[in-house]
Amino acid sequence: MNLTINAEMLKVGKRWMPYILFVLLVAGVAVVVWLFGYVAYKEDQNFQEGQKALRTFAYPWTITALLDNGQFWGTIIFVAIFTSSTMATEYSWGTVRQAIVRGQSRAAYLATKLLGTTIICAAALLGALGVGLLFSAWASAAAGQPITLDVADGPSVPELGLMVLRAGFTIIPYGLLAFCLAVVGRSTALGVGGTFVYMLGEGIVVAILKGLGGTWSDLRDLMIGHNAASLLAVNRIGNLEYNTLAARELPRADELPDVWIATLVLLLYCALFIAISFAVFQRRDIRG
Amino acid sequence: MHNSEVPVLKTSRLSKRFGKRLALAEVDLEIRPSRVYGFLGPNGAGKTTAISLILGLLSPTGGHVELFGLDTRNHLSECLRRTGAVLEGVSFYPHLSGRDNLRVCAAISGGGCESRIGEVLELVGLTARARDKERGYSLGMRQRLAVAAALLHDPELLVLDEPTNGLDPAGMRDFRELVRRLAGAGKTVFISSHLLNEVEQMCDDVGIIKEGHVIAEGPVAEMVHQADVMEMTVTNADAALEVLSQIDWVGLVTRDGSDRLSVEAPRARAAELSRALAENQVYLSELRPRETTLEDFFLEVTSPEDKR
């Protein structure tokens, strides 16, 4: 497994695409911290919007803001494109065939692909988070704000790790959706497009269901985004607001499913996407 | 080492259907160790389908494949680790160099063969271009890289689908020699090609497939047999026709020119034929058996009218 993972790293490491996506990710982080944080705060420091802007780049709220924005845009910019592309190009290059005829089982091939993709996505997203935290430190210093975790309801250092894990976990179902679509459709466009449409459409559907109320409103509990929001809501510090570019409402714990139920629902989605991918790939005729 | 009694590759009633189209119909093949087997057929006959089934890329509609005496339905990975394959079409990472592509192949093969990368690159004449990206390779260079990848893990069986595509004449000659050398070293080679001359020179056995059915199979030597037809040039063709028509063991005689005849008669009786003509004052300036090439045989068995 080590060897094949190394081979996976070699294949991906020499492509331009992950580096370009990472630069876009960092650009997105800069937009959140500087434009929607620092610049917005400087323009309107004293009112409610100014305080939201402050919490977008000031510690420790910036951690929540970066994880929330990163969960949405990191998935769209990096995870969906990277995952779909690395899987679908193996079809178009004919390299799936090369792997199978060399005796790598189909299950092992897909598992390696999934593991390699996960490692690279995790590294890129953590790297972007690190850059974001540096930007925030810089912006905080420029605005004369302290760099501290010591605020009301502020997280401890171990809790920071949990916050990252929670946000990371909520990305996995979308990543697996992209993977599943790319495997089934053998197409980068389908993987990327399908995930984009789902993520953006889901926000609209959740809002409509909320508006309809009653039983309709309960249907939100079946959607990935609503359950992901349940975990992200736990990351909030003191229920205070911050600026977000994610195309969805700020997660509010009182409207969301229980965290453990949400975790279970997300795990079920993960299992479903993995099962579909493996079942289709295992039975598929692979032609040139 | 493989038991010489057990076929290295055996297909039993192997069939594949794509929708309503039957691509392969109950194909039985058997390839013995250390033999070079040529798999011939017109375009669309089912060669690549058969190879894809053998290599586990397609699942059969019926029948099964055995490699090294093991049923691939239960032992596919194990069997393929002992097999090297050149597939039709490109199957490499275009952004990686030839060497890096082979490193990926070595890793997929389970490691242990990375040390052979230099050796196989040398063998296919790609050492000088090993650091260039695959996307910059010509078709012939890609084909060489594919052969290098197939040989990397020192397989016992090589399955090659149109391996000489894109090779120049010198490359083809080198490839031919390589195949013979591999067979000499105990490897078994299953090679699909439409280059009949190549197959004739490389292969011990040959199978011909048409519209999904194997229509002829056997040693190349038997297919490229000396036909029981003799070609002769005579001093008097009219008189020769008269003489030949009276010999009961002479079959069809056709006149190819003013003084050239093709005569269906056993080669062993050439001397008797010559004497019979001479006794009637018809003299031969040339007499030779007509040779059938693999191409003649192939065209005969695969022609639409089926002249067999």
pLDDT in tens, A66-119: 999 999 999 988 999 999 999 999 999 999 999 999 999 999 999 999 999 999
Q: Do B81 and A102 touch (CB under 8 A)?
A: yes
How many Å lie between the alpha carbon of B103 and the closest alpha carbon of chain A? 7
Query: Contact A95/B89, CB-based, under 8 Å?
Result: no
* pLDDT at residue A157 is higher than 80: yes
Residue A245: φ, ψ to 5°: -100, 0
- Element holding B150 (H helix, E strand): helix B139-151
Sorting pLDDT into bands at 50, 70 and 90, what band is B220?
Answer: confident
The residues, any chain, with a CB within 8 Å of residue B159's CB and separated by 6 or more, are: A101, B9, B51, B54, B55, B83, B84, B85, B86, B190
Question: Taking the CB of residue A28, how many other CB atoms lie within 10 A of it?
Answer: 21
- Chain A environment of B57 (Cβ under 8 Å): 97, 100-101, 285-287
Rounded-to-integer distance, Cα B145 and Cα B156, Å: 19
pLDDT of B308 > 50? The answer is: no
Of B104, B153, B159, the CB nearest to A7: B104
- CA dist A192 and B144 (Å) reads 35
Q: How confident is the model at residue B68 (pLDDT cuts 50, 70, 90)?
A: very high
B198 pLDDT above the threshold of 90: no
The partner residues of B159 in beta bridges, in order of sequence, read B85, B190
Helices and strands in chain A, H and E counts: 13, 0
Q: Does A45 touch chain B (CB under 8 A)?
A: no
- Residues 6 or more apart in contact with residue A85 via CB below 8 angstroms: A17, A182, A188, A191, A192
- pLDDT tens-digit readout, A21-44: 999 999 999 999 999 999 999 988
Q: Do B110 and A15 touch (CB under 8 A)?
A: no
- How near does any CA of chain A get to the CA of B291, in Å? 39
**Which has the closest alpha carbon to B154: B126, B123, B199, B131?**
B123
The label of the residue with tokens 């905080």 reads A140
Residues 6+ apart with CB under 8 A from A88: A182, A185, A186, A187, A188, A190, A191
Facing residue for B105 by CB, picked from A14, A93, A102: A102
Amino acid at B215: I
pLDDT > 90? residue A133? yes
Contacting residues of B for A280, CB less than 8 Å apart? none
Check CB contact under 8 Å for B77 and A14: no
Structure tokens at B194: 């439409």
Q: Could you tell me whether strands B36-40 and B188-193 are parallel, antiparallel, or unpaired per DSSP bridges?
A: parallel
Integer angstrom CA distances of residue B248 from A276, B176, B252, B254, B291: 74, 45, 11, 16, 23
Taking each helix axis from N to C end, the angle separating A157-185 and A81-92, rounded to the nearest 10 degrees, works out to 30
b/e map B278-290, b = 16+ CB within 10 Å: eeeebebeebeee
Contact by Cβ (8 Å): B85, B56: no
| Interface probe with B: pick from A95, A97, A102, A115, most Cβ of B within 10 Å | A102
Q: In the predicted model, is pLDDT for residue A170 greater than 80?
A: yes
pLDDT tens readout for residues B122-162: 989 899 999 999 999 998 899 899 999 999 999 999 999 98
CA-based nearest distance A176→chain B, Å? 23
Residue of B nearest to A2 (CA): B107
CB-based contacts of A240, cutoff 8 Å, min separation 6:
A55, A61
Q: Closest Cα to residue B265, out of B282, B284, B244? A: B244
Query: Span B191-216, mean pLDDT?
Result: 89
Binary contact (B93, A11; C-beta < 8 A): yes
Q: Which of residues 101-140 of B touch A (CB under 8 A)?
A: 103-105, 107-111
Cβ–Cβ below 8 Å for B107 and A4: yes
Task: Kindly indicate the confidence band of residue B305, based on its pLDDT and cuts at 50, 70 and 90.
Answer: low
| Closest-CA residue of chain A to B17 | A285
Catalogue the E-assigned strands of chain B: 9-18, 21-31, 36-40, 62-67, 70-71, 83-86, 157-161, 188-193, 205-210, 213-219, 226-234, 253-255, 260-264, 284-291
pLDDT of residue B126: 92
For residues A249 and A157, which has the higher predicted lDDT (pLDDT)?
A157
Those residues whose C-beta lies under 8 Å from the C-beta of residue B288, and which sit 6 or more positions away, are: B230, B231, B232
pLDDT at residue B307 greater than cutoff 50: no
The pLDDT assigned to A244 comes to 85
Cα B146 to its chain centre, rounded Å, is: 18
Q: Residue A243 has what pLDDT?
A: 86
Which three-class secondary structure state does DSSP give residue A193?
Answer: helix
Between CA B244 and CA A156 the distance in angstroms is 110
Is the previous residue joined to A60 through a cis bond, with omega within 30 degrees of 0?
yes
From A105's Cα to the closest Cα of chain B, the distance in A is 6
Q: Is A103's CB within 8 Å of B105's CB?
A: no
Q: Of B2, B3, B47, whose CA–CA distance to B302 is shortest?
A: B47
Q: How many CB atoms neighbour CB B225 within 10 A?
A: 13
pLDDT of residue B1 exceeding 60, the answer is no
What's the pLDDT band for A284 if we cut at 50, 70, 90?
Answer: very high
pLDDT of B3 reads: 60
Residue B106, both tokens: 């070595």
- The distance from CA A170 to its chain's CA centroid, rounded to whole angstroms, is 7
Q: Do A103 and B96 touch (CB under 8 A)?
A: no
Question: Given this model, what pLDDT does residue B306 score?
Answer: 42
Interface of A with B in 212-231 (CB under 8 A): none
Question: Which is higher by pLDDT, B230 or B50?
Answer: B50
Chain B residues touching residue A95 (CB < 8 angstroms): 91-93
> Looking at the partner chain, which of A94, A102, A287 has a beta carbon nearest the beta carbon of B108?
A102
Q: Residue range B35-62: average pLDDT?
A: 93
Q: Is B306 left (phi over 0), alpha (psi -120 to 50) or beta?
A: left
For residue B2, pLDDT beyond 60:
no
- Report residue A63 as tokens: 């951690």
Per-residue pLDDT, B265: 86
Share of chain B above pLDDT 70, in %: 96
Q: Chain A to chain B, count of Cβ pairs less than 8 Å apart?
A: 94
Residues A42 and A54: beta-carbon distance below 8 Å: no
Burial class (CB in 10 A: 0-12, 13-18, 19+), A58: buried
Q: For residues B52 and B54, what is the distance between their CA atoms, to the nearest angstrom?
A: 5
A282 at B interface, C-beta within 8 A:
no
Q: Which residues of A touch B56 (CB under 8 A)?
A: 100-101
Does A172 score more than 60 pLDDT?
yes
**Contact: A101, B58; criterion CB under 8 Å:** no
Cross-chain CB nearest to A97 (options B57, B59, B96): B57
Interface pTM, i.e. ipTM: 0.88
| Mean pLDDT (whole number) for B162-172 | 85
Is residue B225 scored above 80 in pLDDT?
no
CB spacing of A286 vs B57 below 8 angstroms: yes
Rounded mean pLDDT, B190-194: 90
